[in-house]
Amino acid sequence: MNRRETKQKEGILKVLSNTRAHPTADQIYDEVRKDIPRISKGTVYRNLQVLEEDGAITELRLDGTLSRYETKQENHYHFRCEKCGRVSDIDMPVDKKLDQRAEKRTGLKISSHQLEFRGLCKECQN
Amino acid sequence: MNRRETKQKEGILKVLSNTRAHPTADQIYDEVRKDIPRISKGTVYRNLQVLEEDGAITELRLDGTLSRYETKQENHYHFRCEKCGRVSDIDMPVDKKLDQRAEKRTGLKISSHQLEFRGLCKECQN
DNA sequence: TTAGGTGCAAAACCTTTGCCATCCC
DNA sequence: GGGATGGCAAAGGTTTTGCACCTAA
């Protein structure tokens, strides 16, 4: 199962590298299609899986129904606007002590945590 | 749009009141069907929406492709086993200072946060 | 009586998969 | 050449919806 470089895979990665919008698979598809009109959705989904397996991107499963994607980066927190649904990164250090604290209280083996803030983004505050 | 009490709605609420398992819509359907064999999935989904609108239950949208449900309670943290997928509540106070801290750093209007710990549950540690 | 709720089935979505053609190494 | 990848379309799985019938108030 040796991986190959293809223009489809590169196109998808390029879209994700050029945005901070945490797009859904469908949004990625629309964007890549501008460069590669005949690309199929199946290919987008397959490559998103492959890219995540290879550690190049992260699948965000914070919403429940739709997956969103971002290029791999240090674990960080997210913000979701309760009105418009947009997701953005929060520039705030990840508090690893939370894991230890929760581990002590529960006896579970905890390796990480995901945190999503909710509220109103700047545009939606008006 | 006055709400009515129906045995279907009561049955769904009863299932959620009697479990800590954060079941999916499908699991709720299976459980309710023991009491109300002719209930349909559409009715389950419709009632889950209604119950959430009325504040009786909460739809958990942290991680995963499937929505999970629980009866309404104080905001609290969750744990998801990375191996078996089970979700459980964490008995740990919600740190409201996190919201203030994030608000200061970002200028966003933050009203709450959702936190999900990940790791291995007791059963899966073996 | 009557507006809201139910059951059933079809539709709508999102994601995965099978198949064969195509491409990369 | 040969295995990995792509395009297309069909299949899968979850959730929503249209409609005729039912039922709580």
DSSP B29: H
Least confident piece of the model among A6-15, A88-97, B6-15, B83-92: B83-92
**What was the pLDDT predicted at B63?**
52
Shortest Cα–Cα distance, B32 to chain A (Å): 23
**What was the pLDDT predicted at B64?**
52
pLDDT for B37 beyond 70: yes
Predicted confidence pLDDT, tens digits, chain A (126 residues):
789 999 999 999 999 999 988 899 999 999 999 999 999 999 999 999 999 999 999 887 754 556 777 888 888 998 888 777 778 899 999 999 999 999 999 889 999 898 989 888 888 887
Q: Which nucleotides of C are covered by protein (CB under 7 A)?
A: 3-10, 14-18, 23-25
Instruction: Provide, in whole angstroms, the distance separating residue B34's CA from nucleotide C24's C1'.
Output: 56
3-state secondary structure of A74: coil
pLDDT for B58 beyond 60: yes
Confidence grade of residue B83 (pLDDT, cut at 50, 70, 90): confident
Q: Which residue has the tokens 């954060």?
A: B22
Distance CA B52, CA B28 (A): 15
Shortest Cα–Cα distance, B35 to chain A (Å): 28
Are B80 and B63 in contact by the 8 Å Cβ rule? The answer is yes
Q: Which residue has the higher pLDDT, B1 or A62?
A: B1
Output the average pLDDT for chain B: 88
Q: What is the DSSP string of A12-68?
A: HHHHHHT--S--BHHHHHHHHHHH-TT--HHHHHHHHHHHHHTTSEEEE--SSSS-E
Are A78 and A68 in contact by the 8 Å Cβ rule? The answer is no
- Residue A5's nearest nucleotide, by CA–C1', is C24
Q: Does pTM top 0.85 for this prediction?
A: no
Q: Is the CB of A5 under 7 A from strand D?
A: no
CB contact under 8 A, B113 and A108: no
Are B76 and B113 in contact by the 8 Å Cβ rule? The answer is no
Q: Which residue has the tokens 């290919």?
A: A43
Q: What is the pLDDT of residues B94-109, one digit of tens each?
A: 999 999 999 999 889 9
Shortest Cα–Cα distance, B38 to chain A (Å): 27
Chain A residue nearest residue B124, CA to CA: A109
Instruction: Provide, in whole angstroms, the distance separating residue A117's CA from nucleotide D2's C1'.
Output: 50
β-strand partners of A89: A78
Share of chain B above pLDDT 70, in %: 94
B99 contacts in chain A (CB < 8 Å): 117
Distance CA A31, CA A28 (A): 5
**What was the pLDDT predicted at B61?**
67
